[in-house]
Amino acid sequence: MPEKQPRFLVRTYRDGKGIFHLFPSLCKGCGLCIEKCPVDTIGWSRELGFLGTPAVEPGHGKPCIACKLCELVCPDCAIYIEKVPVAHPTQAASSP
Amino acid sequence: MPEKQPRFLVRTYRDGKGIFHLFPSLCKGCGLCIEKCPVDTIGWSRELGFLGTPAVEPGHGKPCIACKLCELVCPDCAIYIEKVPVAHPTQAASSP
Amino acid sequence: MSIARIVLGGEGGQGVQTIAEILAEAAYRSGLEALYIPNFGVEQRGGVSLAFVQLGDEVVAVPKFRRAQVVVALSDRAIQRTADYVTRETTFIYEASAAVDPSFLPREAGRLLPVPAVKLATEHLHPRVFNVLILGTVVGVVDMVEETALKAALEGLLGHKFALKPELRELNYRALGEGRELALTA
Amino acid sequence: MSIARIVLGGEGGQGVQTIAEILAEAAYRSGLEALYIPNFGVEQRGGVSLAFVQLGDEVVAVPKFRRAQVVVALSDRAIQRTADYVTRETTFIYEASAAVDPSFLPREAGRLLPVPAVKLATEHLHPRVFNVLILGTVVGVVDMVEETALKAALEGLLGHKFALKPELRELNYRALGEGRELALTA
Amino acid sequence: MTAVIERERRAFLTGNEVVAWAALAAGAEVMFGYPITPQNEIMHYWARLAPRYGRKFLQTEDELSAGYATIGAVLGGVKAFTATAGPGHVLMQEALAMAEMMRLPVVAIITQRGGPSTATVIYSQQEVNLACFGGNGEGFRLVYSVAGLQDLYEYTLKAFGMAWRYRLPTIVLGDGYQAKMRGPVKLFDPARQGIDTGMAAPFLGAAGTPGRERPPVHLRNTYNLEEELLAVVEEQARSFEQVAEQVAEYEEEKREGAAILLVAHGIVARAAQLAAGRLRRRGKAVGFFRPVTLRPFPETALRRAAFEAEMVLVAESAWGQLERLVRASLSGSEVPVQAYRRPGMGITPEELEEELEKILAARKSSGWSRGDEVAARAADATGLAP
Amino acid sequence: MTAVIERERRAFLTGNEVVAWAALAAGAEVMFGYPITPQNEIMHYWARLAPRYGRKFLQTEDELSAGYATIGAVLGGVKAFTATAGPGHVLMQEALAMAEMMRLPVVAIITQRGGPSTATVIYSQQEVNLACFGGNGEGFRLVYSVAGLQDLYEYTLKAFGMAWRYRLPTIVLGDGYQAKMRGPVKLFDPARQGIDTGMAAPFLGAAGTPGRERPPVHLRNTYNLEEELLAVVEEQARSFEQVAEQVAEYEEEKREGAAILLVAHGIVARAAQLAAGRLRRRGKAVGFFRPVTLRPFPETALRRAAFEAEMVLVAESAWGQLERLVRASLSGSEVPVQAYRRPGMGITPEELEEELEKILAARKSSGWSRGDEVAARAADATGLAP
Amino acid sequence: MKLQPEPQMPRVWRRESKPHRFCPGCGHPLALKALGEAVDDLDWQDRVVFGCDIGCSLLAWDFFDLDTVQTHHGRTLPVLVGLKRVRPELVPIAYMGDGGAYAIGVQHLVSAAARDEPVCSLVVNNAVYAMTGGQMAPTTLPGQKTETTPYGRDPALSGHPLKGAEMVAAVAAPEAYVARGSVANLRQLKRYLLRALQNPHFSLVEVLASCPTNWRTNAAETWEWVEKEMPRYFPLGELKGGVREEERR
Amino acid sequence: MKLQPEPQMPRVWRRESKPHRFCPGCGHPLALKALGEAVDDLDWQDRVVFGCDIGCSLLAWDFFDLDTVQTHHGRTLPVLVGLKRVRPELVPIAYMGDGGAYAIGVQHLVSAAARDEPVCSLVVNNAVYAMTGGQMAPTTLPGQKTETTPYGRDPALSGHPLKGAEMVAAVAAPEAYVARGSVANLRQLKRYLLRALQNPHFSLVEVLASCPTNWRTNAAETWEWVEKEMPRYFPLGELKGGVREEERR
Ligand SMILES: Cc1ncc(C[n+]2csc(CCOP(=O)(O)OP(=O)(O)O)c2C)c(N)n1
Ligand SMILES: Cc1ncc(C[n+]2csc(CCOP(=O)(O)OP(=O)(O)O)c2C)c(N)n1
Ligand code: SF4
Ligand code: SF4
Ligand code: SF4
Ligand code: SF4
Ligand code: SF4
Ligand code: SF4
Ligand SMILES: [Mg+2]
Ligand SMILES: [Mg+2]
């Protein structure tokens, strides 16, 4: 059964510390994520969402800090944030 | 209009300090008054009340103190207590 | 007469439904067909209480009827409320301990049967068996119910009271007897 | 043709009902008979929104109909939902800014009229007048509504917005014009 | 009260707006309601307009409350109304049953939607049973089934007049289409057109101290004896049957010589009327009958019309609700009744034309007695009962 | 589940007791109810008996809740029932409409009382409209009108069987007389008599994780489009009409050659049966027909019976509710229908005899076609449909 | 001519309908006595409209020389809300049982309280459904036997007694008046009723009352129940003060 | 093969019915996200039965891979009460709007709470009747414009906002769990839901939620309303603690 689940088209952006996955066929363009992003990186995209209204994308403000607030508040689960894997774990660990 | 109000048959008893008026056609024999009388003077009478059950009368315990509790608690307003007029008002007034 | 139709009327507390229920149950236990239906209104007490009993040797299909062979009325108001059921064939049993206004009594009744049940019960027996005394009279008039069935029905309804006060049983039997006698002699 | 029947379909936010309402109101103000009815379901948004407009010179008594002279579809889903109304006499107007799957288009339509309204509006005018552009095309096709009546109806519905942003009025007029032209040339 | 609509004027309105204007013009003082599609905008417009005309509005906690509050206002002596539909209409029956028992002039606007239960919020004619016979009673109510925006205006006015004149709960039975459609309508001051919108008078709380200056008013709907109730219901039945003769309304066209009599109510009647007319123009003998009052049902008129036809076709957006009333009304006659049932769906003239053609063809091929080629008389007679 | 009644036995019970025993014997797991006269004792007996048999009872805050809780229990896959009357029956329609829409085997015992509104707590047959067509739908329900204590037992058993077999809300329509009267009744184990009391199965919460081991169950009663609803209601109608042929029940006597066919349902049918029989014994041609199911109505059987008669007399303790069903059923036939209406009052065989005599006399004097002296055939044929 | 003594009924009681229809020992007429005296004291016979519910309260449909409407089970409040909205000069009293007010009609009670409808509600709490023959009410005490709790009310199955006055106090406006009195203290009850009647906002007075018929109690047991048992669950007193100073007379 | 990224929907969300039917920016799906995660955490997909009311909640009729019944306006609670009575092993969730729960169905809510029916109720408080197009709800704020309060809700005419959670807390058993969360704090909301689900007694979680469609707000105004305006009348927090220790994960 899980195999039969529909795949949702994905647009993936890299922004700051975040890998920003956006599923346009889920995004209804409500803008809630835009308002919540602490670094204002989310803005309207040229891509159209589910209702023919613009979807969103990162890259409109300061770099993403991968706080996942946008993912949390999206009523449509249209955003999935992954943290950019830390390149040099040892280095990162030494600079708190 | 007030003239047309039906008169209710009355039985009047004198007991202690009270003139005990009982309206048999109103008394349903619930016994609430009997329970409440502080001197237990009220008891069942041979007179029948509204439902063919015994009505009540004073004289079954200590003399009435005219506290009017029975009148107060009768759900049918079947009792009316008057105080026995004080025979010698001057005398009464001088003995507080 | 294949079905005997009986209407009983009285004040809320007079036990009319108990009479009817025992009567119907006794008929059923006598192997007869029987149907009992109380009337019931919005007033729990204070209204006239009516009971309709039919018993006989053919199936009783309809709970109500228009004319009764026996009418029992235990109060002035009940005399008025039951008047419509009276015909020339009717035995009209009424409580006659206190004065009854004769103008209330149904003239067309075949037989008027005054029963001073309150008086008799209070004097000889106990005020509370007053309705069983009436039951005795009805059973006497109808004369279709077996004695053992009657006692069994009485036991069924009042058994729990007899258990507490065994002397009550005897009292009730005597009330039944006195009532029945009245039917025969009056 | 004494009554012109028009069905409009689109996504929740596309303004289909606004087009229909202005159209009907304009017809009424032109002295024509007119009747407009929206379809409405339990979904406030997210469902396909349909509007039914009839206008002409005889009384319109029945709000719905089975076949339309003009069908307007503003989304893929709307093309499917409006297909039943199309006949050989129908002019089928559809939004054609993005690629439309041609297999969805109703083959039997008398005339297929693609209108890239989103594109035109976004490029020349303003995305928000997209639906007024479509209205222009419809008015061009139907050709029964008076220009002054149309402007008055526009004023009636959008006047409060024009009051805030007077340049909107001109934008809308231009959208109407561009749309109407498409009807004639396309 | 000054007239709400001074001069007659045309307007382009939705049915729900029309109802609000009509209620204002009829002098309704208050509306109680609970939201439900498709009647919502009656409440919206009323809530917006009421304060301007010194009228009142209360949104209640449910339809039970809306119905009973309307009763309360009526008892107080003002014209009051409510509006609902579908599941709300089901609940409203509790209050309407009380109004029926106590003969209270409650006015309810019902905008039918799909059923049963929540079903759709759109349209249907599935609330005919409910409107006519909902409640645990005998359906002693007036039910006007309207067929268009002008009707909605005029019968809403009239509903208040009839309710108060005859002291009967009165329903204006519309539907989602009529509620939501926008079209031209002529508004006017009922007084100037001689339409009686009723004189309200208090049932409770009239002048004078009860028990001193006048007897107290004691209203009840409960009886202790079967005989008491029988007397009350029989009296209501008698009075309803008298009223029936005065208020039953219908509309008909070309019933003489009709091979088929097409019967429909409400907005479907408009499609039926068009279909019948078109067939007549094509030389087919098709008559049209529209009961305007569903309670009381215009039985005599329908019988007269049907007895002249060879068959009756009942068309409705329901599964046989009007049909049952028609069949019962034609009791004792051999005229066959056929049905076209579309529960919850609109009906167009075109589909009725097709249906009629099909029937005519079938009957012809099976050797139908009366020719269907009888030339339709030129003039359609449209009769509106008193 | 072990049988509640092991051996067949006679008992002397009231109707309300009979219902409680029947529900136990049918395997009902739970009753939900709200007090109302005259059904109260069903609840009283059930509340007393239920714990002994591991069954459950809940007194809810109103009849809406009782109806919906019954739905909930049915969804959970157990036989469940409720009982109400009069104003409670009005409210219960909301839940019954949902059960109708979702085809849920809810069983409701209705003990009719006087109406409309609170009226009397005693008796009537004024809830026929409600039982058959209450709610904003088409009345796709089974309604059994019982006529006596034995009926009450058997049809309560059967109601569960039919409800679950056909997935239809099912009403046992009794009245205050039958509820309160005490008489002999034969109790038995339905399984031994071959009476199907239904197999319950869960609608929701069956085994398996939804979405993993099986698809989730998604039940709804709301649709977005007219077309969707039309399809649903049409499918229900088709299925109901099929069911109708299998379940319609009636009882009749001596219909051949009957001058008058006396039609009555419920307890009034017993008076009618007696009256018709007595007249026949006196040589008058009077037949008797009792619809047992009011929904679906035994239309074919009634037509057959009525077409052989010269007239139909409908007797009921209501103002024309059964009569309307009879008239509609006889559509297309010329047989005249007359009514004997006693809303809220019991009807005795004697008064029906008088009424029949009066009609016969009147018809005779006005030169009636078929003789009323036709000797009644010796044997009365009593037919009970499958 | 010396006047014959007359029963001391409140002036506003209607003599023609007495003896009333309530059972012997019933709490309803006691509540109605306190109410009648309060109306007398205010001299509001021309302003008060009395609405009674279905339940034993309906037996009061012709109890007073007051315009009266007997409504439908649980629906007295909305009827009087509608009346008051259009006749603000009237003082409507909604007279209900605990079943009507706290079960089938509880949506109207909490909603009227929340909307602060200026209606005076009087709820007779006798811990049973009396008129229908003694079933469990929302107020039935734990362990109390009724026809539908034949083995005693088991809170695990059917919950604890509903405290209606407390519930109303939780949703009512600050200006509302909410109190609980008892027929065992008629003077206090009358004080509460006077305050309730004069409060130009929503008011509720719950009254602990006897139902000997369904309780199957004799007079002594009846008083025991009203005075001792019931207040253990339903404390007497004022829960919300209304807007006026207390007015005793 | 690298897995394509998938939307991070709770496991119990049904992918086949997504995108769901709620409007852009609606609070309902946010509440349903918290609920979905709570059910996931408990791994109760085989025990939970979801019931939704009429109102925008009905749009969730095929939202979850959970057995679901969409009921009638205001009647979800009694349906689930009936279900739970016969299937005690199931965990029914009654998902309702503020209109369904606090107006037309409020009798069921207070009665179920008073009887301590072990059902978990979730009330989405969006301060309007959303599905019917934005009329006043019992929870509409003073001054708030809706279709039936076109000039703003006037408490003198239609009362103050009803505090549903407080009302329920006043009648519910001590073991009941009552809390108010918000879609503006989904982690807190999920904690509340976890406690509510695990409470073997009655529980109610009210959720402050957005309805941009009827509020006619843009995203910024929407958040402003949910985060600032609504809590001024409806304080967040736990009102009644239930019987279990708080279980965070
Ligand atoms: C809709 C409806 N359901 C049920 C009833 C039956 N009924 C009449 S009175 C009553 C209960 C009365 O109890 P309560 O309100 O406590 O008043 P009381 O008789 O105890 O004073 C009920 C359930 C009814 N009349 N209407
Ligand atoms: C008996 C009944 N009355 C009215 C309605 C109409 N109705 C549908 S949803 C709704 C209100 C919904 O409001 P709420 O419960 O707050 O949910 P929301 O849509 O705001 O989430 C109403 C009144 C109905 N379906 N049934
Ligand atoms: S993860 Fe945080 S910072 Fe990054 S886009 Fe989302 S909200 Fe903005
Ligand atoms: S919150 Fe979700 S649906 Fe709304 S704009 Fe952002 S991504 Fe799109
Ligand atoms: S007045 Fe007081 S003392 Fe006298 S009888 Fe009455 S209760 Fe007893
Ligand atoms: S309280 Fe009243 S009714 Fe009761 S016994 Fe005493 S006098 Fe009679
Ligand atoms: S049943 Fe109880 S409440 Fe009703 S009148 Fe009798 S004692 Fe009073
Ligand atoms: S109308 Fe409001 S509550 Fe309903 S789906 Fe849209 S935003 Fe959500
Ligand atoms: Mg009570
Ligand atoms: Mg809401």
Residue B94: pLDDT above 70?
no
pLDDT at residue A6, rounded to an integer: 62
What span, in angstroms and rounded, lies between the C-alpha atoms of C70 and C7? Answer: 6
Paired with E144 in beta bridges are E172, E293
Q: Tell me: the pLDDT tens digits for E15-32?
A: 999 999 999 999 999 999
Q: Contact, H212 vs A30, CB < 8 A? A: yes
What span, in angstroms and rounded, lies between the C-alpha atoms of C91 and C75? Answer: 16
Element (H, E) at C156: helix C147-164
Phi-psi region of D80 (alpha: psi -120 to 50; beta: other; left: phi over 0): alpha
Residue B14, Cβ neighbours under 10 Å: how many? 14
Contacts of E203 in chain G (CB under 8 A): 69
G98, G90, G101: which is closest to G44 by C-alpha? G90
Report, as an integer, the average pLDDT of G134-153.
98
Residue A95, Cβ neighbours under 10 Å: how many? 5
What span, in angstroms and rounded, lies between the C-alpha atoms of F79 and F197? Answer: 9
Fold of F251-380: Rossmann fold (3.40.50)
pLDDT at residue H244, rounded to an integer: 55
Phi, psi of F118 (to 5 degrees): -70, -40
Q: Which chains share 3+ C-beta pairs under 8 angstroms with C?
A: B, E, F, G
Residue F371: pLDDT above 80?
no
Is H243 in CB contact (< 8 Å) with chain G? no
Residue E374: pLDDT above 60?
no
pLDDT at residue G244, rounded to an integer: 55
Report, as an integer, the average pLDDT of F37-43.
98
Q: Tell me: the pLDDT tens digits for G54-65?
A: 999 999 999 999
Q: Write out the two tokens for E214.
A: 């006048």
Span from the CA of G178 to the centroid of ligand 1 (angstroms): 23
Give the burial class of D149: count Cβ atoms within 10 A of its Cβ; 0-12 exposed, 13-18 middle, 19 or more buried.
Answer: middle
Which ligand minimizes its atom distance to the CA of H29? 8
What span, in angstroms and rounded, lies between the C-alpha atoms of E111 and E94? Answer: 18
How many percent of chain F have pLDDT more than 90?
91
Q: Cα–Cα–Cα angle for A63, A68, A71, nearest 5°?
A: 115
pLDDT at residue B89, rounded to an integer: 52
Listed by start position, the domains of chain F span 9-187, 251-380
Q: Which residues of A15-28 are buried (b: 16+ CB within 10 A; e: fewer)?
A: bbebbbbbbbbbbb
Q: Give me the count of residues in chain G.
A: 249
Contacts of E117 in chain H (CB under 8 A): 72
Give the residue from chain C lying closest to G26, CA to CA. C45
Residue B6: pLDDT above 90?
no
pLDDT at residue A92, rounded to an integer: 42
What span, in angstroms and rounded, lies between the C-alpha atoms of H93 and H202? Answer: 11
What span, in angstroms and rounded, lies between the C-alpha atoms of G15 and B4? Answer: 10
Report, as an integer, the average pLDDT of D115-139.
91
In CATH, the number for domain G28-248 is 3.40.50.970
Q: Contact, G249 vs G194, CB < 8 A? A: yes
Distance from CA of B81 to the nearest CA of G (A): 9
What span, in angstroms and rounded, lies between the C-alpha atoms of F270 and F278? Answer: 12
Q: Write out the two tokens for F84.
A: 């109400």
Ligand 2 closest atom vs CA E37 = 6
Residue B92: pLDDT above 60?
no
What span, in angstroms and rounded, lies between the C-alpha atoms of D56 and F56? Answer: 66
- The distance of Cα G20 from the centroid of its chain, to the nearest Å, equals 17
Q: Tell me: the pLDDT tens digits for F239-292?
A: 999 999 999 999 999 877 789 999 999 999 999 999 999 999 999 999 999 999
Q: How confident is the model at residue G214 (pLDDT cuts 50, 70, 90)?
A: very high
Q: Which residue's structure tokens are 């239904």?
A: F198
Give the burial class of B29: count Cβ atoms within 10 A of its Cβ; 0-12 exposed, 13-18 middle, 19 or more buried.
Answer: buried
Distance from CA of C167 to the nearest CA of B (A): 24
pLDDT at residue F3, rounded to an integer: 82
Give the residue ranges of chain A where pLDDT is below 50.
1-3, 91-96
> Cα Rg for chain C, rounded, in angstroms?
15
Q: Tell me: the pLDDT tens digits for E254-293?
A: 877 789 999 999 999 999 999 999 999 999 999 999 999 9
What span, in angstroms and rounded, lies between the C-alpha atoms of F283 and F127? Answer: 35
DSSP H helices, chain E, are: 15-25, 40-49, 63-75, 86-102, 128-133, 149-166, 176-180, 226-247, 266-281, 299-307, 321-329, 349-365
- Strands (E) across H6-150 are located at 48-52, 67-70, 91-97, 120-125, 128-129, 135-136
What is the dihedral angle through the alpha carbons of D108, D111, D112, D113, rounded to the nearest 10 degrees?
-160
Q: Tell me: the pLDDT tens digits for G80-132?
A: 999 999 999 999 999 999 999 999 999 999 999 999 999 999 999 999 999 99
A11, A17, A72: which is closest to A46 by C-alpha? A11
In CATH, the number for domain D3-185 is 3.40.920.10
Report, as an integer, the average pLDDT of D55-81.
94
Q: Tell me: the pLDDT tens digits for H10-41?
A: 999 999 999 999 999 999 999 999 999 999 99
Tell the residue nearest (CA) to atom 4 of ligand 3.
Answer: A64
On average, the pLDDT of chain B sits at: 87
Q: How confident is the model at residue D123 (pLDDT cuts 50, 70, 90)?
A: confident
Q: Is the CB of B32 under 6 A from ligand 6?
A: yes
Span from the CA of E248 to the centroid of ligand 8 (angstroms): 45
pLDDT at residue D102, rounded to an integer: 82
* One-letter amino acid of B33: C
What span, in angstroms and rounded, lies between the C-alpha atoms of G99 and G127? Answer: 9
pLDDT at residue H105, rounded to an integer: 98
Q: Helices C167-185 and C147-164, interaxial angle, to 10°?
A: 140
How many percent of chain B have pLDDT more than 90?
71
First CA to last CA distance, chain H? 33
Q: How confident is the model at residue B95 (pLDDT cuts 50, 70, 90)?
A: very low
Report, as an integer, the average pLDDT of E131-153.
98
Q: Is the CB of G100 under 6 A from ligand 1?
A: yes
Q: Which residue's structure tokens are 């999935």?
A: A80
pLDDT at residue G125, rounded to an integer: 98
Q: Write out the two tokens for E225.
A: 């004896």
Q: In this prediction, does ipTM exceed 0.90?
A: yes
Side-chain-side CA neighbours of residue F248 (13 Å):
16
Q: How confident is the model at residue D128 (pLDDT cuts 50, 70, 90)?
A: confident
Residue bearing the bigger pLDDT, G230 or E374: G230
Q: Tell me: the pLDDT tens digits for H143-185?
A: 999 999 999 999 999 999 999 999 999 999 999 999 999 999 9
Q: Give me the count of residues in chain F.
A: 386
Residue E224: pLDDT above 60?
yes
Q: Is the CB of H176 under 6 A from ligand 8?
A: no
Q: Contact, D33 vs D58, CB < 8 A? A: yes
Report, as an integer, the average pLDDT of H120-143.
98
Q: Helices H186-198 and H28-42, interaxial angle, to 10°?
A: 50
Element (H, E) at E312: strand E311-316
Q: Write out the two tokens for E142.
A: 């007036």
Q: Tell me: the pLDDT tens digits for B13-38?
A: 999 999 999 999 999 999 999 999 99
Residue C120: pLDDT above 60?
yes
Instruction: Give me the DSSP letters along B35-56.
Output: HH-TT---EEEEEE-TTSSEEE
DSSP H helices, C64-146, are: 76-82, 117-124, 130-142
- The distance of Cα G162 from the centroid of its chain, to the nearest Å, equals 15
Residue E370: pLDDT above 80?
no
Report, as an integer, the average pLDDT of E302-307.
95
Contacts by F362-371, CB closer than 8 A, 24 or more apart: F363/F259, F363/F310, F363/F311, F368/F259, F368/F310, F369/F310, F370/F257, F370/F259, F370/F285, F370/F310, F371/F259, F371/F285
Q: Helices C147-164 and C16-29, interaxial angle, to 10°?
A: 130
Suggest the residue from G59, G69, G72, G73 to mutate for an interface test with chain F (most F CBs closer than 10 A): G73
- The distance of Cα A71 from the centroid of its chain, to the nearest Å, equals 7
Range name among D161-170, E305-314, F161-170 with the lowest pLDDT average: D161-170
CA distances from F370 to A27, D71, F284, F286, G100 (A): 80, 66, 11, 12, 58
Q: Which residues of G201-220 are buried (b: 16+ CB within 10 A; e: fewer)?
A: bbbbbbbbbbbbbbbebebe
Choosing among 3.90.1150.10, 3.40.50.970, 3.80.10.10, 3.30.565.60, the CATH entry for F9-187 is: 3.40.50.970
Give the residue from chain C lying closest to E228, CA to CA. C41
First CA to last CA distance, chain D? 22
Report, as an integer, the average pLDDT of E161-175.
98
Paired with B19 in beta bridges are B14, B82
Q: Tell me: the pLDDT tens digits for G154-207?
A: 999 999 999 999 999 999 999 999 999 999 999 999 999 999 999 999 999 999
F114, F124, F60: which is closest to F92 by C-alpha? F60
Distance from CA of E78 to the nearest CA of G (A): 7
What span, in angstroms and rounded, lies between the C-alpha atoms of G65 and G57? Answer: 16
Ligand 5 closest atom vs CA B81 = 1
CA distances from G68 to E204, G50, G93 (A): 7, 5, 10
Suggest the residue from D11, D42, D44 to mutate for an interface test with chain H (most H CBs closer than 10 A): D44
Q: Contact, D168 vs D158, CB < 8 A? A: yes
Q: Which chains share 3+ C-beta pairs under 8 angstroms with B?
A: C, E, G
Residue E382: pLDDT above 60?
no
On average, the pLDDT of chain E sits at: 93
Report, as an integer, the average pLDDT of E232-237.
98
